[in-house]
Amino acid sequence: MGAHWGMSSGGSARAAAGTSTAGIADSAPGARLDPAGPERSVGWVFVALYALAYMSTCLVFLAPLLVSLALKVNSLVGLAAAPNSLALVAGVGAAVAVVANPLFGRLSDRTASRLGMRRPWMVGGLVGGSMGVLVVALAPTVPIVLLGWCVAQLGFNALLAAMVAVLPDQVPVSQRGTVSGVLGVCLPVASVAATFLVTLFTGNQLAMFVAPCAVGGIFILLFAAVLTDRRLDRSDKPAWSLRQAARTFYVSPRTSPDFAWAFASRFMFVLAYAFLTTYQAYYLLDHLGSAEADVPQQVFLGTVVQSAVLVAASLLGGRLSDRTGRRKVFVVTASVIYGLALFVIAAASDFDGFLVGMAIGGLGFGVYMAVDLALVVDVLPDPDTAAKDLGVLNIAGALPSSIAPALAPVILAVGGGSYGVLYAVAGVCALLAAAAIVPVRRVR
């Protein structure tokens, strides 16, 4: 994976062969995480299993959101009422996710189980989320769909909180850019896999929902089985009170300014992305004058172009970040590139210009998502509350999807209905994401 990996004495041969045992054997009870991360490097076996499990976590989330949930709601209420019903289900589910992710992260950080700190939440979250998806698949009414989707969000966010915490738990600083770059590839691959699996079972609504959980569950359970999980001694279990519970959803900007700036950057970057994706179809129809029948194919082509560049950029950006020992310059540059991509899209006069903008956007998005995760892990306020703090960061990734649809009509009204203006504003948001990283001091 990279030449710039730190290795503990006696582990060099195993790691160099790609079969390091880091991440395979049980850690000692009561072990506390060093802020710099574990000393021993991880090998290709661990990284491959972690990537497959992380991609599977994305898969179980995405499969319903991309296709199945909309089709289920449409089958219950009809096309005329489906958009509003789907907005209700997705909106309430997103609100549950905002609360659930940091909450389960906090619970994971204080889990003193013989099975470890993260493993119980991975397995329990997968089972609980899959049961919620099953309820959605069999639901006879929209309220039951809503109930099932909220259960699914609770379960899958418990799984996600534990899965993301594995990065600071297991991966040393010298490898975090490379590993997070690999994780950055997982989302676009999971998106393609999700639509493929759903297509395989078109016409069988139960299988459309259950198959992604079954396929993804295999890799999640495999990783949970071999993971060297952190183990917390009961005597070291953090205190729990109403005040501590309230702090689950908050990290003080005064005491942790670097984390606050990273949160602000992620929020602005995802907001720019949300403007692009939410109004992409209307942009093609109104700004470029595309025929309605051509829009699905054009969106698909734009996604493919962006994803292809994103995968290469994520892998390369993460690796270069580790080799140079720098994070900030990559995140700032990536945000600026993404902002420029949105300006290109805003100024485009034909579909080719749109594709150019999407390709540039893939470059910026790929590098940002790879290196920003490594940067955030490096500036976590407390290594012993890593899952909780990463859950707080997840709020910055969830809220923009709700805020963008509320802000866009105002921007469009001020801009005379121009989607070019809307995407120019999105570009400014990306530049603000770059500016927010500059004050970070704990990483280079």
> What is the DSSP secondary-structure string of 178-208?
HHHHHHHHHHHHHHHHHHHHHHHTTT-HHHH
| Per-residue confidence (pLDDT) for residue 29, from 0 to 100 | 40
What integer pLDDT is reported at residue 156 of this predicted model?
94
Which of 219, 247, 275 finishes a domain?
Answer: 247
| CA–CA dist 109, 383 (Å, integer) | 10
What is residue 38's predicted lDDT score, i.e. its pLDDT?
60
If one counts the domains in the chain, the total is: 2
* Same structural domain, 427 and 304: yes
- Helix then strand count (H, E) for the chain reads 16, 0
Give the up-direction half-sphere exposure of residue 11: CA atoms within 13 A in the CB hemisphere.
Answer: 18
State whether 214 and 326 are in the same domain: no
pLDDT reported for residue 93: 84
Q: How far apart are CA 267 and CA 239, in angstroms?
A: 30
Q: Residue 113's beta-bridge partner residues?
A: 116
Looking at the fold, whether 85 and 199 belong to one and the same domain comes out as yes
Do 128 and 62 sit in the same domain of this protein?
yes
- Residue 74, domain CATH: 1.20.1250.20
pTM for the model: 0.68
28 in a structural domain = no
Per-residue pLDDT of the chain (444 residues; tens, 9 = 90+): 333 322 233 333 333 333 333 343 344 444 444 444 566 787 889 999 999 999 999 999 888 876 788 788 888 988 677 767 877 887 788 888 888 888 888 888 888 888 888 999 999 999 999 999 999 999 999 999 999 999 999 999 999 989 988 888 888 877 887 887 788 788 878 877 887 787 788 778 899 899 999 999 999 999 999 998 878 776 666 665 566 555 555 566 777 788 888 888 989 998 998 888 767 777 888 888 888 777 767 877 887 888 889 888 888 887 888 888 888 888 999 999 999 999 999 999 899 999 999 999 999 998 888 788 778 777 777 766 666 677 777 777 777 877 777 788 888 889 888 889 999 999 999 999 999 998 888 777
The answer to whether residue 112 sits within a structural domain is yes
Same domain flag for 161 and 290: no
| pLDDT value of residue 43 | 83
How far is the C-alpha of 235 from the C-alpha of 383, rounded, in Å? 18
| Residues 96 and 133 grouped into a single domain | yes
- For residue 1, being part of any structural domain is answered with no
pLDDT at 318: 79
> Residues 210, 261: one domain?
no
- In this prediction, residue 223 carries a pLDDT of 95
Q: Give the pLDDT confidence score for residue 375 in this predicted structure.
A: 83
Are 183 and 274 in a shared domain?
Answer: no
Has residue 154 been placed in a domain? yes
Pair 215, 59: CB distance under 8 Å: yes
Answer yes or no: is 31 within a domain.
no
Q: Residue 242's pLDDT is what?
A: 60
**Could you tell me the CA-to-CA distances from 273 to 308, 346, 403 in Å, in that order?**
17, 13, 12
88 and 179 belong to one structural domain: yes
Structure tokens at 151: 């259960």
Any idea what DSSP says for residue 349?
Answer: -
Q: Are residues 217 and 257 in the same domain?
A: no
Q: Are 235 and 411 in contact, with CB atoms under 8 Å apart?
A: no
Residues 375 and 402: beta-carbon distance below 8 Å: no
Contact 79, 137 (CB under 8 A): no
Q: Is 9 left (phi over 0), alpha (psi -120 to 50) or beta?
A: beta
**What residues make up the domain containing 340?**
252-437
